[in-house]
Amino acid sequence: MRNIRENIEFVRNVVKSAENVSHPVEIIAVTKTFSYQDVLEVLDCGISRIGESKIQEALPKFSQLGASLSGIAKHFIGRLQTNKAKKAVENFDFIHSLDSLKLADDISRHAASAGKIQNCLIEVKVSQEDSKTGVLSKDVSDFYIKCLPIPNIAIRGLMVITPCSDNPEDSRYYFRQIKNLFEGIKKSFANPNFDILSMGMSSDYKIAIEEGATMVRVGSAIFGERNYGDK
């Protein structure tokens, strides 16, 4: 039987016990497909970051949550089409899926209109799967450089989704690759605000932490299995 409070405590203990952790790790509770009542429960447990991947699902849920979201960081973690950039900027504190200069320009324009600096992560593509998006690893540094002069966006780090696998250990190679890329950019540009490495989900977040993740995106490990039937 699902117990969100116990699941959160378990995830927190895994985070604390992960090997080689010498840095804080933020837990993003991925709330997609779950009800606003479920979100209220995780907020009551002290979770301060939530993640959604579809604008059309997130906005009604945010409306229902109302003042409960005060002080809660909202992360957009799904693929973002340019025609949804305005809504993403207006409603989210972080966008994890920046993958093109066109999208960067659109985010910048809408952020300027909203009077804010939009925090973004560059999504890195490490999979050959057509369903996966992002900037190829070999192009990330150049993409980062091209984004730097764009106003009203702050490139805070990198995000990765590893290829689907039944074995969580298969993700380690990719996590290590992205950590090296992340550290290389930090060293080259000496940007103290380039400080977020978002990698790892419910199946492999412990391995992601071992390999340097500063944010993990955990959904089913907290809420239980998703039911996509009505989505």
Q: Tell whether 204 is covered by a domain.
A: yes
Sign of CA dihedral 42, 43, 48, 52: positive
pLDDT, residue 35, reads 93
Q: What distance in Å separates the CA atoms of residue 124 and residue 223, rounded to the nearest whole number?
A: 27
pLDDT at 20 over 80: no
Whole-number pLDDT of residue 128: 73
What is the count of structural domains for the chain?
A: 1
Please report, for the domain that includes residue 35, its CATH number: 3.20.20.10
Give residue 133's pLDDT.
84
Tokens 């405590």 belong to residue: 9
Q: Is 121 inside any structural domain?
A: yes
Flag whether 22 is in a domain: yes
Judge whether 14 lies within some domain: yes
Q: What is the number of H-type helices and E-type strands within the chain?
A: 9, 9
**pLDDT classification of 132: cutoffs 50, 70, 90:** confident
Q: Which residues contact 88 (CB under 8 A, 6 or more apart)?
A: 55, 76, 80, 95, 107
**pLDDT tens string 31-80:** 999 999 999 999 999 999 999 999 999 999 999 999 999 999 999 999 99
**Residue 143 included in any domain:** yes
Cα–Cα distance, 92 to 95 (Å, whole number): 7
Share of the chain above pLDDT 90, in %: 85
186 pLDDT higher than 90:
yes
Residue 154 tokens, joined: 């702050």
229 part of a folded domain = no
Tell me the residue range of the domain where 150 lies: 4-223
Neighbouring CB atoms inside 10 A of 176's CB total: 14
